[in-house]
Amino acid sequence: AALGGLSGVPELEVEALRPVNLLQERNLLPPRPLEPPEPNVSSDLKKVNCSPTFRCTLTSIPQTQALLNKARLPLGLLLHPFRDLQQLPVITSNTIVRCRSCRTYINPFVTFLDQRRWKCNLCYRVNDVPDEFMYNPVTRSYGEPHKRPEVQNSTVEFIASSDYMLRPPQPAVYLFVLDVSHNAVEAGYLKYFCESLLENLTKLPGDMRTRVGFLTFDSTIHFYNLQEGLSQPQMLVVSDIDDVFIPSHDSLMVNLKESKELVKDLLTSLPEMFSQTRETHSALGPALQAAYKLMSPTGGRITVFQTQLPTLGAGALQSREDPNQRSSAKGVQHLGPATDFYKKLALDCSGQQIGVDLFLLSSQYADLASLVCCSYSAGSVFYYPSFHYIHNPAQLEKFQKDLERYLTRKIGFEAVMRIRCTKGLSIHTFHGNFFVRSTDLLSLANVNPDSAFAVQMSIEDSLADSSLACFQAALLYTSSRGKRRIRVHTLCLPVVNQLSDVYAGADVQAITCLLANMAIDRSVSSSLSDARDALVNAVVDLVSAYKSNVSNLQQSGLVVPASMRLFPLYILALLKQKALRTGTSTRLDERVFAMCEFKTQPLQQLMRMVHPDLYRLDNLSDQGALHLNDTVVPQPHLLHLSAERLSRDGAFLMDCGNVSFQDYLFMAHSAGSHIPELETPLSERVRAFLDWLQDNRAFSCTMHVVKDDASAKATLFQHLVEDQSEVASSYRDFLQHIQQQMSK
């Protein structure tokens, strides 16, 4: 009855609307990780839509805000604008065609009224087609403007003209700011940093103009003169940390090509230089002030390595963590910064096109909540709790893999991103690391392929006159080779006026990720318990709205449309995450870092962290396998995250995004983090599957092999979100709690 009147609807949509009673259906997971829902648009539009870069929480946009309110689902976008792409059409043209009114870039969703006029898909203005656009460089023919690459592809990159530059494009400039206090030497990161940079020096993105510099600090700040012509690097010490000055401007940031031998000398000698230090203080704030002064003339990237709480000078911090309050929702204080020093510094950096990235390698509390404000400059944050080069080999391995990726991944400098949408829609909140320069313009001093952003939207005016809604993100940046480029992504979705259509097009993973971002903001601005309540209420609201508006089934229980069947499970998984959990002791820095990850990780990565993929490996077969080149890749089915799905005689893999646990019970002789290479069909299948998983992500993944008796089992078991733990309810109990909330 709930599906009455859907006779002409595609099968997928009927399935998406099938009512699911969560208290009765146990097997909710699909066999393979979820794909985003297909928008219900014509096959021509589907072909060109820019899917994984741009996900909308609703792939069918409600016609009015009233209809959106009735659905009780959030409307927003999740963007991954600079992700590594296999194929990217790059367009060099004297004329970049844009709407004269709203400045939208021409895209596959505009309408050509005839060969000379096109209608904008965002504001509906009619524009002229410029003469140059009549020639198609791909087909080398005239008179087919609709066949040009920018009208055939929803993600394109333009080589920008001088109109898009405020100054000549900057070179790639990298400054490394290194903690060399006793604590840092003890942790032992410096040797591995120097080795990694030495190995990857030629792979740093850049060209003949690339510049580098180094600055080390403890209670004083040490600069390094690397001017070509010196016989060895020269250290310059500044001990006045209250009024930091730069001892020499032109010899500290040097051309990498010209000074390469001196840079290599410095990296070879640095670890030894401080090996006997007894200096325990950390003047991080003054070191950052010095770095800012050094980088201001050009802009670029500052990479900071810090191992403890900053104790001297501007930005000095005191411990704010009370270990007795680590587990209560009421008692989780200090999720915000203790000082505005780091935020203010980040905004100054952003103004000079400097991005600050932070590597925190700390065994003690270091007040990440304050330090993380550096990332308002569009920086990244990496955190290695209990890092020690001998005592924690897993963290060392992760640090080395992350660092190699970090040093060699693509980078865009002096970037801005603007998001435009169809008339009637508006953006009201951004989530991620950036500085908002105006209502729709984000300032991104640096942009990298591993960062994502989220935006919340509302419907200001009825979309009744449009059958399609469009969104366009344009990222203007300087490439590491000094070219100004504009990467443009356009997404087009149908507008609907029925609630059932809104539910049929709901993207449950995008909704979960947007709500996670909203919950993190709420934890900091209000309280952790408020944020948790809001997530539970999101489930109650959805079930109530569906019950009263769409489902006319008179059954008791918790009924949701099949498209949203995993929603309560994902929300429970969120509530059990380090960022949002209560009742279990969670170190403040670890909680804050988990919150940062929620706000910056791309959707697929974030979903694996929230709800890992669990597979059984000891019965892999070639049935349903993928055939890639000469390799057969088995495709095991996903298992529910519950201990009852594990067995003592099996081998299992849990993929949590950036870390995976392997329960290798049948290979009891394997140890550490590597899988033995046996000459057996099963061993080959397992390795083929693991390689395929790794190839399908940008991030390196650390592997932990867990034995039957290992203490790591506890870590593995805390990811089994459907089971009850000492402090959190099971999935069944959570559903019953939702039912009680509804009957109040």
pLDDT digits (tens, 9 = 90+) for 524-559: 999 999 999 999 999 999 999 998 887 666 667 799
> What one-character-per-residue DSSP string does 84-115 give?
--S---EE--S---B-TTT-PBP-TT-EEEET
Above 90 in pLDDT, residue 132? Answer: no
> What one-character-per-residue DSSP string does 312-364 give?
SSTT-------GGGSS-TTT----S-S-SHHHHHHHHHHHTTEEEEEEE--SS
Task: Determine the average pLDDT of the residues in 274-295.
Answer: 96
pLDDT digits (tens, 9 = 90+) for 435-451: 888 777 899 999 999 99
Give pLDDT, residue 3: 34
Q: The pTM is what?
A: 0.94
CA distances from 271 to 183, 290, 313 (A): 13, 22, 25
Using pLDDT thresholds of 50, 70 and 90, give the confidence band for residue 687.
Answer: confident
* Plot region of 274 (φ>0 → left; ψ -120 to 50 → alpha; else → beta): alpha
Q: Among candidates 283, 323, 380, which has minimal Cα distance to 591? A: 323
Q: Among candidates 449, 292, 310, which has minimal Cα distance to 355? A: 292
Using pLDDT thresholds of 50, 70 and 90, give the confidence band for residue 434.
Answer: confident
Task: Determine the average pLDDT of the residues in 6-32.
Answer: 78
**Half-sphere exposure of residue 135, counting CA atoms within 13 Å on the CB side?**
8
- Contact status, residue 107 vs residue 488, Cβ threshold 8 Å: yes
* Separation of CA 2 from chain center: 38
CB atoms within 10 A of CB 94: 7
pLDDT digits (tens, 9 = 90+) for 468-511: 999 999 999 999 999 999 999 999 999 999 999 999 999 999 99
Domains of the chain, by residue range, sit at 173-408, 612-720
Above 50 in pLDDT, residue 7? Answer: no
Calpha distance 40→495 (Å, rounded): 10
Give pLDDT, residue 232: 95
Above 80 in pLDDT, residue 36? Answer: yes
Query: Taking the domain 173-408, which CATH number applies?
Result: 3.40.50.410
Calpha distance 56→36 (Å, rounded): 9
Give the residue ranges of DSSP H helices in 611-726.
681-695, 712-718
pLDDT digits (tens, 9 = 90+) for 553-569: 666 779 999 999 999 99
pLDDT digits (tens, 9 = 90+) for 690-731: 888 887 776 667 777 776 655 667 777 888 999 998 778 999
For the domain made up of 612-720, give the CATH fold.
Answer: Severin (3.40.20)
Write the burial class of residue 674 (CB in 10 Å: 0-12 exposed, 13-18 middle, 19+ buried): exposed
Task: Determine the average pLDDT of the residues in 362-390.
Answer: 93
**What whole-number percentage of the chain has pLDDT above 70?**
93
The mean predicted confidence, pLDDT, of the chain is 89
Above 60 in pLDDT, residue 634? Answer: yes
Give pLDDT, residue 11: 67
Above 50 in pLDDT, residue 672? Answer: no
CB atoms within 10 A of CB 400: 16
Using pLDDT thresholds of 50, 70 and 90, give the confidence band for residue 667.
Answer: very low
Above 80 in pLDDT, residue 324? Answer: no
